[in-house]
């Protein structure tokens, strides 16, 4: 579960944790978009 991953890796609540199946192109694309958006927004802060 995402909450367990966050706790195990000690990731703060500001970082998105998403689940995806990389075998599905649409899901992988969505995950990458989320990652890039988060990185860009973090850079602007």
DSSP per-residue letters across 2-39: HHHHHHHHT--TTS------TTSHHHHHHHHHHHHHHH
Q: Distances from the Cα of 41 to the Cαs of 3, 13, 19, 24, in angstroms?
A: 22, 15, 20, 26
The predicted-structure confidence for 1-45, as pLDDT tens digits, reads as follows 989 999 999 999 888 898 999 999 999 999 999 999 999 998 987
Length reported for the chain = 45
Q: In the prediction, which pLDDT does 6 show?
A: 93
């Amino acid at each position: 579960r995402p909450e367990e991953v966050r706790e195990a890796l000690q990731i703060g609540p500001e970082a998105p944790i998403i689940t995806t199946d990389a075998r599905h192109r649409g899901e992988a694309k969505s995950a990458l978009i989320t990652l890039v958006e988060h990185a860009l927004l973090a850079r602007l802060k």
